[in-house]
Amino acid sequence: MSSLSQPRLPQATTTPMLPLTLDGVRFSHRGQRLLGDIDLRLGAGRTLIMGPNGAGKSLLMRLCHGLLKPTTGQILWNDQALSPALALRQAMVFQRPVLLKRSAQANLTYVLAIRGCPRRLRKPRAQAALERFGLATLAQRPARVLSGGEQQRLALARAWLLAPDILFLDEPTSALDPAAIRAVEEAVNQFHHRGTKIVMTTHDLYQARRLADDVVFLNAGRLLEHSPAERFFATPQSSEAAAFVRGELPW
Amino acid sequence: MPIADNAFSTALTLIVTLDPALLNIVSLSLQVSLSAVLIAAMIGLPLGAALALWLFPGRGAVVVVLNAFMGLPPVVAGLMVYLMLSRAGPLGSLGLLFTPTAMVIAQVVLVLPIVAALTRQHIEALLAEYREQLASFGLGRPRMMPTLLWDARVALTTVVLAGFGRASAEVGAVLIVGGNIDGVTRVMTTAIALETNRGNLALALGLGLVLLLLVACVNGAAHLLGEHARRQMG
């Protein structure tokens, strides 16, 4: 059972991906600079990206994940540029989960299929992942009719089966009720305990206090601060971050 | 009125007794239109999905032409295929004119733009929702295509049914390239036109009823499918 519920991590035999280094990264759209220049170095642990609306949090994650290309600067994974092989060792969970129009179980066997998992192993592994995230009884339900919290947990179960080295989460709990938020946070910690690097954006200061090992603070497309969580919340370096921690910056 | 009444009851008798002449015509109609729709779907579904997925110079023009061809008058489609297949035409040596194969080709010309253009619209809408997630999975466009086609399966089924409705109901194209030869290329629509001219209202009406029933069944199936999917998939 343990071999089923814990798909082997692919990096066991490959080079580590961390640290993630951003070197002078800028992103412009139609001549307008939306982000940058960002110099940042992320090691292991749970990184929370915080900042008011429009700060560029989602943009920064999409650049790191390779969904967008920086206009200038470079993003390096352990001194290597993102390659297709490295891209497969990442996963991302979006604010609104994008689930296929199939059953919950079929959403999971789908990612196992595209990653070349043998057919006979797909259903048992999918079922184990559903159980891990408390969705076992919903296996045959169409994914699109699940509740918001269930959908987000299914997206996390799907990411779990991808066994990523790095998991990006873009405000995964912003539309959820407190019980569902707690379930998602527990799921994030499961990834953390498995050794997955977490990079997550949130609006929720309390959530950041509960989860963060380090905090990246953005404002208006600029990186103002990157510090360990305790120091960020106790003695923020910039006046903007201080206002944000006091809850005075508009979200 | 008595003539019409008489024709109506005779038509019903023809249907109920499974009149061989009527059955022949209905069966050829189904063979031709189903073959045409099958071929159009096999080309049009991937073609429409590819148009949604790939950006290339001239893509806009292709989309406009496809959309315009959705309304292609059947007689014009028939004429185009006629010119291709006639003795003097580029494909004249194949000797296909006035055969069921020619009718299938003409109907493919009619149905393919419908299937491809509507598929492109549906896949493009779905892609807008799925693109980031599928890219995050590391999928390239060729691998996205089957996923999108499968997830749009309900909408695409109604697209194909719409194509079948068009194929089975048109008369112009099959008349021109088929020639309405008794027992060889006579289908429901061409037979109805001919029998009406001849005054053989019973057979015309019988065929008309079968055709109506067929079109009603296709539309009913499309409706039920949509309802079922809405309940199933939210």
pLDDT score for A76: 94
Domains and CATH numbers, chain B: 26-200 (1.10.3720.10)
Query: What is the strand order of the sheet A166-170 is part of?
Result: A90-93, A166-170, A197-201, A46-50, A214-219, A222-228
Query: Sign of dihedral through CA atoms B119, B121, B123, B124?
Result: positive
- Give me the mean pLDDT over the B102-129 stretch: 96
User: Which of A35-39, A169-173, B9-13, B191-195 is least confident?
Assistant: B9-13
Q: Which one is the CATH code of A16-38+45-245: 3.40.50.2300, 3.40.50.720, 3.40.50.920, 3.40.50.300?
A: 3.40.50.300
Please indicate if any CB of chain B lies within 8 Å of the CB of A91: yes
Q: What ranges make up the beta strands (E) of chain A?
A: 20-29, 32-42, 46-50, 72-77, 80-81, 90-93, 166-170, 197-201, 214-219, 222-228
Q: Report which residue type is found at A191.
A: F
* pTM of structure: 0.88
- Give me the mean pLDDT over the B173-185 stretch: 92
pLDDT at B214 over 90: no
Please indicate if any CB of chain A lies within 8 Å of the CB of B157: no
- Mean pLDDT score of chain B, rounded to an integer? 91
Contact: A145, B234; criterion CB under 8 Å: yes
User: How far off is chain B from A86, nearest CA to CA, in Å?
Assistant: 10
- Each residue's pLDDT tens digit in chain A (251 positions)? 344 444 555 544 578 888 999 999 999 999 899 998 899 999 999 999 999 888 999 999 999 999 999 999 999 999 999 888 899 999 999 998 999 999 999 999 999 999 999 999 999 999 999 999 999 999 999 999 999 999 999 999 999 999 999 999 999 998 899 999 999 999 999 999 999 999 999 988 999 999 999 999 999 999 999 999 999 999 998 888 999 888 876 65
Please indicate if any CB of chain B lies within 8 Å of the CB of A85: no
User: Which of A226-240, B79-93, B218-232 is least confident?
Assistant: B218-232
> Containing H/E element for A247?
none
Confidence of residue B96 (pLDDT cuts 50, 70, 90): very high
- Domain coordinates of chain A in residue numbers? 16-38+45-245
User: How far off is chain B from A213, nearest CA to CA, in Å?
Assistant: 25
Portion of chain B with pLDDT greater than 70, in percent: 97
> Containing H/E element for A109?
helix A104-114
SS3 per-residue string spanning B149-169: HHHCHHHHHHHHHHHHHHHHH
Please tell me whether the peptide bond between A37 and the residue prior to it is cis, using omega within 30 degrees of 0. Answer: yes
How many whole angstroms separate alpha carbon A127 and alpha carbon A58? 31
* Residue that wins the pLDDT comparison between A2 and B124: B124
β-pairing, A72-77 vs A20-29, is antiparallel
pLDDT at B123 over 50: yes
3-state helix, strand, coil in chain A (%, to 5): 40, 25, 35
Option in A84, A100, A144 nearest B138 (CB) = A84
Please indicate if any CB of chain A lies within 8 Å of the CB of B129: yes
Contact: A101, B147; criterion CB under 8 Å: no
pLDDT score for B4: 59
Exposure on the CB side of residue B71, measured as CA atoms within 13 A: 4
Confidence of residue B1 (pLDDT cuts 50, 70, 90): very low
Contact: A92, B136; criterion CB under 8 Å: yes
Identify the DSSP state of A201. E
Choose among B222, B232, B193: nearest CA to B74: B193
**What count of other Cβ atoms lies within 10 Å of the Cβ of residue B230?**
10
Option in A94, A110, A145 nearest B132 (CB) = A94
Query: Sign of dihedral through CA atoms B135, B138, B143, B147?
Result: negative
Please indicate if any CB of chain B lies within 8 Å of the CB of A88: yes
How many whole angstroms separate alpha carbon A225 and alpha carbon A184? 26
SS3 per-residue string spanning A9-57: CHHHHCCCCCCEEEEEEEEEECCEEEEEEEEEEECCCEEEEECCCCCCH
> For residue A35, is it left (φ>0), alpha (ψ between -120 and 50) or beta?
beta
* Chain B nearest-CA residue for A163: B137
pLDDT score for B104: 97
Confidence of residue B22 (pLDDT cuts 50, 70, 90): confident
Q: What is the DSSP string of A214-238?
A: EEEEEETTEEEEEEEHHHHHHS-SS
Contact: B137, A162; criterion CB under 8 Å: yes
Contact: A98, B129; criterion CB under 8 Å: yes
pLDDT score for B9: 86
Confidence of residue B3 (pLDDT cuts 50, 70, 90): low
pLDDT at B118 over 90: yes
* Chain A nearest-CA residue for B229: A101
Q: Report which residue type is found at B56.
A: F
pLDDT at B230 over 80: no
| Among B134, B137, B149, the residue to mutate for chain A (most A Cβ within 10 A) | B137
pLDDT at B2 over 70: no
Contact between B211 and B115 (Cβ < 8 Å): no
Q: What ranges make up the beta strands (E) of B41-186?
A: none
The complex's ipTM?
0.88
pLDDT score for A13: 54
pLDDT score for A141: 93
Contact: A98, B135; criterion CB under 8 Å: no
